[in-house]
């Protein structure tokens, strides 16, 4: 069984838990922090609201039934869709999309290799 890590994200009082392959969790955390840093520079009228990465851990036991762990690839796919839909004219949005899509491609490859192995 592959080693997984959990990235804990917070938006307002809500927590989100994203399960990532251990080798890629840091990349998601770093990407999230960069996107949060850059999102205020976007000039589009509608931009996604991002949670903020607040922690990572190796093991996670959720004690509240309403909390769920989200698959890392599903999370990054949704993130890519939300940024791809931004109608940005001034800020070089393509740079942020490139970073998102790079991690997306790495995760897709990782899941394919795991399915084969």
The pLDDT score that the predictor gives to residue 47 is: 92
Identify which has the larger pLDDT, 105 or 40.
105
**pTM for this prediction:** 0.93
State how beta strands 52-57 and 69-71 pair: unpaired
Digit-coded pLDDT (tens) for 8-53 = 999 999 999 999 999 999 999 999 999 999 999 999 999 999 999 9
Digit-coded pLDDT (tens) for 49-89 = 999 999 999 999 999 999 999 999 999 999 999 999 999 88
Give the list of residues 6+ apart from residue 47 with CB closer than 8 angstroms, or none: 39, 86
The pLDDT score that the predictor gives to residue 1 is: 78
How many angstroms from the chain centroid is the CA of residue 97? 12
Question: 59: alpha, beta or left, given left = phi > 0 and alpha = psi -120 to 50?
Answer: beta
């Amino acid at each position: 069984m592959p080693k997984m890590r959990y990235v804990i994200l917070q938006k307002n009082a809500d927590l989100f838990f994203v399960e990532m392959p251990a080798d890629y969790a840091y990349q998601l955390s770093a990407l999230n922090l960069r996107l949060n840093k850059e999102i205020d520079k976007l000039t589009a009228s509608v931009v996604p609201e991002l949670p903020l990465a607040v922690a990572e851990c190796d093991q996670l036991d959720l004690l509240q039934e309403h909390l769920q762990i989200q698959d890392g690839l599903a999370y990054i796919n949704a993130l890519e869709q939300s940024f791809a839909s931004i109608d940005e004219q001034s800020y070089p949005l393509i740079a942020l999309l490139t970073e998102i899509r790079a991690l997306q491609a790495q995760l897709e490859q990782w899941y394919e290799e795991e399915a084969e192995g």
